Amino acid sequence: MTKISAILPLKTRGRHYADNIGRCDILFSSLRHFTTPDTFARFVLVVPHDEIEAVKGYAKAWSDFPLEIVDESEHLAIFNEFSQRHQIRGWHRQQIIKLYAPALIDTEYFLVFDPDCFATHPFTADTLVIDGKALTHYLPRTTESRFWRDSAKLLDQDPHLDRDGLWWTPTILSRTLCLHLQRRLEEQYKTDWRRVLLSHYTLDWTEYTLYWLNAEREGLLERYHARPGPGQRTLHAAESVWYVDMMQDWDARRHFALESDGLFAVVQSNTHISPQQVVEKLSPYFPITLQPYKRDKAFALRVAELYSAVVRRAFKGVRKLFGR
């Protein structure tokens, strides 16, 4: 039986993360309904060291899946080299974790999740890996051109903005292509690939654009990735909730209709739409149980995160001013 792995960076404290346990309850409820835990060879949660014990308690609700809870500090101690808060963006931190997945999984392909994703149609590993290639959702690179430009700058190559590229989470990555990207960065910069990415925190690189651009340069995309064929659904619903003002008119029914094309949808976590509101929209289509959880949204942590964002923005402005 074909299996696929999954990786989910999970943080539960801070201004964007306080409801992530509730979001995970929705995600795992949807996976339980639309596939089975046996689809996954391994389902890895990567968690900050000081949140490990709490997450282990909450994760009992998802223990029918082959979960492995990984202490971030045991694998990514390199984060400690960048001790100033503005040097490590939470957004970049989770992207590095996703690219690190080959050290944590054994299968060639792995699904990348965030807590704010959920499944909308039945699938198996054979739905996701077709003829040895990962089912891939494509969109024009001009949709988020700055990510492609900044990643291309880091890799010293053309972003080819006239082409299509890989879309965001959830997506399926190749273990082999992740390792190729790691090697490319280390050969180009003569240091650990994670250090390369962490030291370029003023660039809006992303894990997917780096991964795709490097695989494209090596001529490997068609060997590992494929568009959906006739009658096959793509990964992403045509419409997800990316902004808070979209929620009021959001008709979740469209995601679950037989004619809808996406296997997954998203209610973006930084909208701060509560899991309870999402459950109200989704519960007619699959059973969801939200467990009680502590919302850790400490004021000091929020201030520190806002400070970091302001400092990074200032550094980015200086970089652009001097064309660096």
Over residues 138-159, the pLDDT tens digits come to 999 999 999 999 999 999 999 9
Residue among 205, 172, 20 at smallest CA distance from 101: 172
The two beta strands, 133-135 and 225-226, are: parallel
Residue 183 has pLDDT above 90, yes or no: yes
Mean pLDDT of 284-290: 97
DSSP state of 281: H
pLDDT, mean over the chain: 91
Report whether 271 contacts 16 (CB < 8 A). Answer: no
Whole-angstrom distance, CA of residue 62 vs CA of residue 283: 18
Question: Which H/E stretch holds residue 243?
Answer: none
Q: How confident is the model at residue 1, as a pLDDT?
A: 65
Q: Is the pLDDT of residue 82 over 90?
A: no
Would you call 7 helix, strand, or coil by DSSP? Answer: strand
Residue 159: helix, strand or coil by DSSP? coil
Q: Lowest-confidence range among 82-86, 98-102, 125-129, 292-296?
A: 82-86
Tell me if 250 sits within 8 A of 281, measured CB to CB: yes
The amino acid at 84 = Q
Element of type H or E holding 234: strand 234-236
Q: Which domains occur in the chain, in start order?
A: 4-321 (3.90.550)
Is pLDDT at 32 greater than 90 in this prediction?
yes
Residue labelled with tokens 């004021």 = 299
Contact 71, 294 (CB under 8 A): no
pLDDT single digits (tens) 203-252: 999 999 999 999 999 999 999 999 999 989 999 998 899 999 999 888 99
Helix (H) or strand (E) holding 45: strand 40-47
